Amino acid sequence: MKKNLDIDLRTYFGKQVSVHQLRSATQGLTIRHAERTYYQTPADEAILQEFDGRSGYLYSIELTLTKTMDIPIRTEQPDLHILYLMEGAGPIQLIDAHNHIICRLATERSCYLYLPAGDYIIRVSSGWSNIFGFYFDGGIFRDGNDKEFHFLEQVLTYYRSRSPQAIASVDFWVGPLTKVAIMHFCRNLKRGILSNEDFISRNIYRLIDISKKKVAMPNGNDYPMYYIHAVREHLVHELKEGNGIPSLEHIAADIQRSVRHINRLHKELFQITLREYTTTKIAELAVPMLQSGMSVTAVSNHFNYSDSSAFARIIKSKTGKIPSQWAEEKK
């Protein structure tokens, strides 16, 4: 979509520098194929990543600051935004041109925003912060599909009327499922491929759907059951999407837990290993696909099995039948 958000780091930092000149800033969130710019003063550093797709504009701002900083931003037209403080030593604030605070986010919190065209600042606390956000076509909320998003009622009213006043939704927790979804989204972006726009749309929808669940949740305490459910939900989502078995190492890194910790908790809570759970879900998903008329090869490829015999062994071990037998039992 047309870029209409300008994030001005130049006013504070001056000219860009090369990545090799940075002393301490590390790319906490990688947006694949993003345009990256790097900034540095004698005391502070910043990394800006921007990806402009037809279905949404994504950005990440990573800052290492010795004092509070105001980042000027400008929007060229009214849009819906989601702003995430993925991590931060202190809170951030979004402030309009009249010095009115639109929202205040603590670390691991997020909110929806309606921003009319105009000038704003993001006030960032000293220390290390990673801000992620995107804006998207608000037209996706139509035909009554916004009824489940009651917390967005006022934001959508302002957007649809093109109000001259900015507004923020209630804020919600950026938990492990949100982080895994964002990392996966950003890590797998492509350029110059038509299917990428469908990928962007589906992942924006997914993040919006996750936010609906988070609004009613408490703050981000480390609840073992929730963390494991987040991992399981992400695994099933990826299997349904045909992306194969996600890397547990990636998931663990995204939610800042060790693979050993995740495996131990899963075994304690469900009395089976995460690997056993994954193969069980593959069998559950594969059987109806085989019965629907898909070939054994197509279903095996859907789960990224290059060796169809390995796929057959899993189906046999979980169901008692080989894939071709299930394929013969068409619905």
- pLDDT tens by residue, 125-141: 999 999 999 988 888 88
CA dihedral 124, 125, 131, 133 (to 10 degrees): -40
In one-letter notation, the amino acid at residue 231 is V
- How far apart are alpha carbons 60 and 330 in whole angstroms? 48
Q: For residues 293-307, give the mean pLDDT.
A: 87
- Higher-pLDDT residue of 185 and 216 is 185
Supply the pTM of this predicted model: 0.71
Q: Which of the residue ranges 9-13, 222-226, 227-231 would you say has the lowest mean pLDDT?
A: 222-226
At 258-296, the pLDDT tens digits run: 888 888 888 877 778 888 888 888 998 889 988 888 888
- Higher-pLDDT residue of 156 and 190 is 156
- Higher-pLDDT residue of 121 and 178 is 121
Q: For residues 18-25, give the mean pLDDT.
A: 81
- How far apart are alpha carbons 186 and 232 in whole angstroms? 20
Predicted confidence at residue 2, as pLDDT, reads 63
CB atoms within 10 A of CB 298: 11
Q: With 90 as the cut, is the pLDDT of residue 59 above it?
A: yes
Q: For residues 171-179, give the mean pLDDT.
A: 84
Q: Are 89 and 129 in contact (CB under 8 A)?
A: yes
What is the DSSP-derived secondary structure letter of residue 17?
B
Predicted confidence at residue 104, as pLDDT, reads 93
Q: What's the distance, CA 27 to chain centroid?
A: 16
